[in-house]
């Protein structure tokens, strides 16, 4: 399977990114010489990770006929302080709400994504340490 992306420089640190037929701007902070016309590129690695696992999980819950009221996935990353400032650790938080959802199928959907389907996670870890927590209807549940 192949995948492509491209960025075209506009000015300063701003680039127009092209992916899957969509265009969006990325840029640096003013401190780095940019104008903040779009997000920094580094965090797109996090969106790639949580987008990939989030789509897996919502898709698996759908196949389980589980009715989800709201669902979000967050990521907090710790990066190296010295160049190259690579990702060291990522904590992923799955937050799911729904009156009829129990812990077990949610845990199973997340485990299926993390262990079998999520290609971005499999790319990053190892060497990046990725942990997760699960919050179901406002309460942390054990992994």
CB-based contact 132:143 (threshold 8 Å): yes
# residues contacting its own copies (CB under 8 A): 73
Residue indicated by tokens 């190892």:
126
Q: Does 60 bind its own copies (CB under 8 A)?
A: no
Among 20, 31, 104, 139, binds its own copies (CB under 8 A): 20
Of 19 and 64, CB closest to its own copies:
19
Does residue 137 touch its own copies according to CB under 8 A? no
In the shown chain, the binding pattern of residues 63 to 102 toward its own copies, with x for contact by CB under 8 A and - for none, equals -----x-xxxxxxxxxxxx-xxxxx---------------
Bridge partners (DSSP) of residue 71 are: 96
- Following DSSP, what letter does each residue of 25-56 receive, concatenated? EE---GGGT---SS--STTHHHHHHHHHHHHH
Q: Is 62 in the site for its own copies (CB under 8 A)?
A: yes
How are beta strands 14-19 and 129-136 bridged, if at all?
Answer: unpaired
Residue from 103, 111, 120, 141 touching its own copies (CB under 8 A): that is 120
Cis bond before residue 107 (omega within 30° of 0): no
Region near its own copies per CB under 8 A, out of 49-57, 103-111, 130-138: 49-57
The DSSP secondary-structure symbol of 113 reads I
- Min dist CB 103 to its own copies, Å, is 19
């Amino acid at each position: 399977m192949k995948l492509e992306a491209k960025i075209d420089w506009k000015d300063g640190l701003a680039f127009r990114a092209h992916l899957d037929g969509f265009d969006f701007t990325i840029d640096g902070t003013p401190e780095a010489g940019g104008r903040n016309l779009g997000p920094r590129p580094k965090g797109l690695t996090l969106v790639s990770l949580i987008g990939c696992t989030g789509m897996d999980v919502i898709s698996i819950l759908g196949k389980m006929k589980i009715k989800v009221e709201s669902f979000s996935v967050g990521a907090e990353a710790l990066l190296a302080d010295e160049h190259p400032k690579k990702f060291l650790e990522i904590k992923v938080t799955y937050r799911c709400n729904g009156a009829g959802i129990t812990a077990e199928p949610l845990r199973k959907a997340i485990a299926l994504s993390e262990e079998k389907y999520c290609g971005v996670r499999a790319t990053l870890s190892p060497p990046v340490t990725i942990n997760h927590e699960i919050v179901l209807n406002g309460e942390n549940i054990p992994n």
